Amino acid sequence: MELRSIQMTIAVSFTVVSVCIMCFLVLTLYGQFSRRIEDQYVENSAQLLNQTAINLEGHLRNMRWISDAMYYSVIKDKDLAVQSMDDEMNLLYEANKDNLVSIACYTNDGSLTAAAPIATVKADVDVTTHRWFQDAVGQLENFHFSTPHVQNLFDDPSYRYYWVVSLSRTVELNHNGETSLGVLLVDMNYSSIERILKKANEDASAEYVYLMDQDGEIIYHPKQDQIYAGISSENNLAALSYEDETVQESFEGEKRLVTVKTVSYTGWKLVSVVPMEVYSMGMESTRYLVIILVILALLATVLLNQLVSARIAKPLKKLNASVEEWEAGNLHPDIYVGGSTEVMHLGNTLRSTVEQIQQLMQDIVVEQEEKRKSELDALQSQINPHFLYNTLDSIVWMITGEKYEEAVFMVTQLASLFRVSLSQGKTVIRIEDELRHAQNYMNIQKIRYKNVFQADFDIEPGILGYCTVKLILQPLLENAIYYGMEYMDGEGKIRVNGYRKGDDIFLEVQDNGPGIPQEEASRLLTEENRERKRGSGVGLINVHSRIQLRFGPQYGLQIESCPDEGTTVTIHIPAIPYTEENQRQLEEGKRK
Amino acid sequence: MTGKRLWIGLIVTAMVAILVYVSYGMINVGKKETYHSVAVVLGDSSHDRWNAFKEGLEQGAEENHIHLNVVFTGVFQNQEEECAAIRRELENGAEGIIVQMTAEESPELFEKTVGETPTVLIENDMGLEDEYTTVAANQSEVGVAVAQSVLSGESGDIQGLRVGVLAGNQEMHSQRVCLESFLDAMEGSEAKIVWIRSEEEWDRDISAGLLAGDAEADVVVALDNNATECAIAFLQDNSDVSWRIYGEGRSEKAIYYLDKGSVRALVVPGGFYMGYKSAELMAQKLKLKTSGEKKGRAETHVDFLTVTRENLYDKNVEKILYPIAG
C-alpha cells in the first residue's frame, strides 16, 4: 500500500482534519442540545407542578369555601337548641357531593350535632380519639387537613368504605344564646385529589408527581399501593428537607431530578421526580440521528477526499511514471503534460529537458562518429601510400623481370582493392565486398611476401548478403601477416572463416604464428594509446570501436591467443541483410 | 493501488455497517415492548375478595408488559370444569396461566391441561410445589395465626371453650394444610373442637337443616373467606346463635362484620402483593420460555395480617386492607 503517496497523504490529512472538526462540532452541539433538553425537562416539571398545585389549591379552596359557608352562613346563624342545620347541610352536600363524602358537626365532647348525608353513626366510635378532631379542637379559625384515611364514622350496610381527607375546624355552637365549641368536619373524597394528581401523571414516561404532607407522609403516589405493600419505596423523607427548588439526588442507585412545590393552605408538598434516564431515553433517537449524520458526513468526506486527492495526485503520478520510464532506460519517453498549471509546467520543462538531452546525446554520437571517421580516414590516408608504394614497387620488379602476367594480376587485384575501399564513400558494405577486399589484399601480400604463407577463405555463402562495416578484415589480416607470418618461412597459414550462428555473424582470422599471452591479447582491445610497431597503424581497438559504434556494445572483436600456437581474432556482428534501407540506417546510426 | 482500494473499501464497508446498525436501532427506538397475553382463572372471579389481588395483578402486569385476561367465572363445581376454562383460554392464545385451583381431584389432569405453558398457582399449590411456581400465604402459618387469634381473643376463658371449625374447601391442598396446622396449634389448649365441617359438608348440612342442633359452639373458626362469610350469614340468619367468629378472609363483607364486632379477628393475606408478585413471576417465566430455558420454579410466600376491631383503622392496616384504587 502506498502509504506515503501524495494521494494518501492528502486524503488522510484532509480526512483527519475533517473528522476532528466534525467530532468537535458534534460533541459541542450535542452537549448544548443535552443541556437544553435537561433545562426543558426542569422547566416542564416546574410548569407541571405549578399547574397541579393550582388545581389542588383550587380544590382545597373550594373545600374551605364549603366549610366557611357551613360555618358562617349556617352554624353561626342557628340556635341549635331550637333549630336544625340539616337542610342547609344537605343542600351544601348535594351541591358538592362529587367531591365530598360527608359533612358533620360535632360538639366538643364528640357528640354528633348534624351530618349529611344522613347516616347511622357507628356504634362505639369515639371521634375525640380521631386525629382530625384532636387537631381541630380548641384552635379557633384554623383549618386542619388530615392525611388520607378510611372514614370511620358512619355505618354503610353495603360494605363500602371511603378514603377521605378530612378538613376540620373549631366552630362556635349556639344553644339558647350560650356559645359552646364544636368541630365541623368536611370529609373530602380522596378520589378528587387522586384525580388531580393522576392527571399530572398521565404522561407514560418515567417522570411522576407525588404529594406528601408536611411530615413527609405520602398522600398520593402513582405507586401508592406498591409502597404500602412494600414492593416500591420513595425518597419522601429526603424530599421533605428540600425547599421549593430543583435538586439532583440519587435514590436506590438511580440519579434523578426532584422538584418540590409547597401547596398553599396545607403545607403539603408536591414533588416531581424525573429520573435522569428519561433524558437519555428522550435523547436516544437524537443520538442515533447524530451518529447517522456523522457517519454519512464521514463517508462523504472520505469519498470526496479520495476524489480530490486522486484528482490532484493523478497528473503527478503520470509525470512520475514518465520519469520512471526514462530512468528505466527508455531514451525516448512520452513525457506526460497535463493536470494543474504547476504540474503542466513541470511536464513541459521535463519534456524539454529530455528533448535537449536526446539532442545532446545525438550530437555526441554524431561527433564521435565524425571523430572515428576522420581518424580512420587519416589512418587510411597514411597507410595507402605506403601499401601502394610497396605494391607498385613489386609491380615494377615484375615488369622489369618480364613477369607480365603476374604484374597484370597484381594490378587487377590492386584496382579491385581500391574499388572496394572507395565503395562510393559508404561505411557499411556487403560482407561479400569486404571479403573480396580481404582476398585482394591477401593476393597482393602473398605475391609481395613470395608465398611464405598460405591464405584460405572458408566462408558460408549465406552470409555474403549481410551488412558489415567496411575495412575491418584487412587490419586483422595485416596484423596476422606482420606479427604471425614474417618468420614462418613458408609454413605460415592464415585462415579466414565466416559463418552465421543464430542472429549473429562471426568472421574469424586464424593464424599459426607465434601468438601472444592471453593477458596481452585482452589488453589489445582496451589500451587506446598502445604504440604500434609496424603495419598500417589501424589497431584492433580501432576496428573494435567501429563495430561497436555501428552495431552496439554487445558486438565487436574477441581475441584468443596462445604463445607458440597462434592467434584467432573473431569479428562478431549482427546478421542484418544488406538492403538500401538497412545500409542507410546503419550509416546514420539509427539502427543498433 | 489494489491495497489502497481495499483499505478504502474496508472503511466504507465498516461505515455502511455501522450506518445499518444505527438505523436499525433508530427504527426500534420507541418501539413498544411485546406484550404477552396471560389468562387469569380464579374461582368466583367477580367476588370482591379478589379486588386487592386484581389491583396488584394489574399493576404488576402493566410494569411487566403483560396483557391480562381475567376470566369471568362462577364457583367451579369440579376440576374438569376449571381445566376446561384453562383449555379454552389456551386455545384462545393465552401464553401463560395464573390460576387458583379450587379442586384437585386429578393433578395429572391439570398437568396435562397446562402442559409446557408457563403457569403460576395462587393460594393453592396443589401439593405440586416442586413443579409449579406458587404465590400463596404460608397456609401452615395461617392456621397457626388463626388459632393464636382465637386463643388471644378468648383469653381467660379458654377452658371448656367449644370451637366449631368451618374448614373451607378441603379439596384444596392449601386448606387441608391450614386445617391441620390449626388443629395442631389448638391441641395443647383447653378448648374443645366440637365439630369440623368442610365447605361441601356445610352446604349439605345447611340444605338438610342438620346444622341447627349441632350449632352449639362458642367460637366458630372459618379457614377461608367463603367459610367466614358463611359463618357470618348463619349468624345473621339465626338470632339465637351467638358465635364469636374468627377466620381468614379479606372480602368487604368480612371486614364490615369485623368492624361491626360479629367477627372477632381476621387473618388477612396481602392480596395486592399476591397479585403483583403473580404477574412479576409470570413475566419471568415468559422470559425464560422466550429465551428457550426450561421452566423456572419459585415459591413466594405472601405476608398476612391479623386484624381485630381494635387495629382495623390503624394506618398500616387500613393501607393493606382497603386498596386505594378500589
What residue ranges define each of the domains in chain A, with the CATH number in brackets?
1-334 (3.30.450.20), 359-588 (3.30.565.10)
Residues of B in contact with A132 (CB under 8 A): none
Residues of B in contact with A302 (CB under 8 A): 8, 11-12, 15
Q: Are the beta carbons of A150 and B273 separated by less than 8 Å?
A: no
Q: Which three cell numbers stand for residue A381?
A: 590516408
Q: pLDDT class for B24, splitting at 50, 70, 90?
A: confident
Q: Which three cell numbers stand for residue A213?
A: 404532607
How deeply is B166 buried, as exposed, middle or buried, from its count of CB atoms within 10 A (0-12, 13-18, 19+)?
buried
Q: Are the beta carbons of B276 and A230 separated by less than 8 Å?
A: no
CA distance linking residue A529 with residue A546, whole number of Å: 16
Question: Rounded to a whole number, what is the distance in Å from the CA of B130 to chain A's nearest CA?
Answer: 25
Specify which residues A577 forms β-bridges with: A466
* Amino acid symbol at B130: D
Q: Which three cell numbers stand for residue A378?
A: 587519416
CA distance linking residue A245 with residue A247, whole number of Å: 6
Chain-centroid distance of CA A563 in Å reads 73
Q: What is the pTM of this model?
A: 0.66
Per-domain residue ranges for chain B?
Answer: 36-136+271-302, 139-269
Residues of B in contact with A291 (CB under 8 A): 18, 22
- Whether B139-269 and B36-136+271-302 are alike in CATH topology: the answer is yes
DSSP H helices in B29-154: 51-63, 79-91, 107-114, 139-153
Residue B326 pLDDT greater than 50, yes or no? no
Residue B191 pLDDT greater than 50, yes or no? yes
A4 touches chain B (CB under 8 A): no
pLDDT tens-digit series, residues B36-51 = 999 999 988 888 889 8
Question: Rounded to a whole number, what is the distance in Å from the CA of B288 to chain A's nearest CA?
Answer: 22
CA distance linking residue A144 with residue A165, whole number of Å: 10
* Amino acid symbol at B247: G
B16 touches chain A (CB under 8 A): yes
Distances A389 to A395, A399, A443 between C-alpha atoms, Å: 10, 15, 16
The predicted pLDDT at position B295 comes to 53
Residue B68 pLDDT greater than 70, yes or no? yes
Q: Are the beta carbons of B8 and A302 separated by less than 8 Å?
A: yes
pLDDT tens-digit series, residues B233-282 = 988 888 888 889 999 998 989 999 999 999 999 999 989 999 999 999 99
Question: Among A296, A298, A12, which residue's Cα sits nearest to residue B4?
Answer: A12
pLDDT tens-digit series, residues B99-120 = 998 877 778 888 899 888 999 9
Between chain A and chain B, the number of residue pairs with CB atoms below 8 A apart is 90
How many Cβ atoms are within 10 Å of A290's Cβ, its own excluded? 17
Q: Which of A191, A228, A286 to mutate to test the interface with B (most CBs of B within 10 A)?
A: A228
pLDDT tens-digit series, residues B293-313 = 555 667 788 889 999 999 999
CA distance linking residue A115 with residue A529, whole number of Å: 149
Q: What is the CATH number of domain B36-136+271-302?
A: 3.40.50.2300
Q: Which of A225, A287, A314 to mutate to test the interface with B (most CBs of B within 10 A)?
A: A225
Handedness of CA A486, A487, A490, A493 (dihedral sign): negative
* Amino acid symbol at A305: N
> Nearest 10 degrees: CA dihedral of A212, A217, A220, A225?
160
pLDDT tens-digit series, residues A478-487 = 888 888 777 6
Tell me how long chain B is: 326
Secondary structure (3-state) at A450: coil
Secondary structure (3-state) at A181: strand
One digit per residue, the tens of pLDDT, for chain A of length 592 reads: 455 677 778 878 888 888 888 889 888 988 888 888 888 888 888 888 899 999 999 999 999 999 999 999 999 888 888 888 899 999 999 999 889 999 999 999 999 999 988 778 888 889 999 999 998 987 777 888 888 899 999 988 888 889 999 999 999 999 888 889 999 999 999 999 999 999 888 876 788 999 998 889 898 999 888 998 889 999 999 998 898 888 889 998 888 889 999 988 788 999 999 888 777 766 777 778 888 888 888 888 888 888 888 888 888 888 888 888 888 888 788 888 888 888 889 989 988 988 898 889 888 878 877 776 666 665 555 556 777 888 888 888 889 888 888 889 889 988 888 888 877 778 889 999 999 999 998 988 888 887 788 889 999 999 999 999 888 898 888 888 888 777 677 778 899 999 999 999 999 999 988 888 888 887 888 766 555 555 544 578 888 888 888 888 899 999 998 888 889 999 999 999 999 898 888 887 766 5
Q: Which option is the CATH number for B139-269: 3.90.1560.10, 3.40.50.2300, 3.40.50.620, 3.20.20.60?
A: 3.40.50.2300
Residues of A in contact with B28 (CB under 8 A): none
Is A425:A547 a contact under the CB 8 Å cutoff? Answer: no
How deeply is A160 buried, as exposed, middle or buried, from its count of CB atoms within 10 A (0-12, 13-18, 19+)?
exposed
The predicted pLDDT at position A1 comes to 42
Question: Among A412, A413, A414, A480, which residue's Cα sits nearest to residue A452?
Answer: A480
Q: What percent of chain B has pLDDT over 90?
A: 40
Residues of A in contact with B308 (CB under 8 A): none
CA distance linking residue A19 with residue A28, whole number of Å: 14
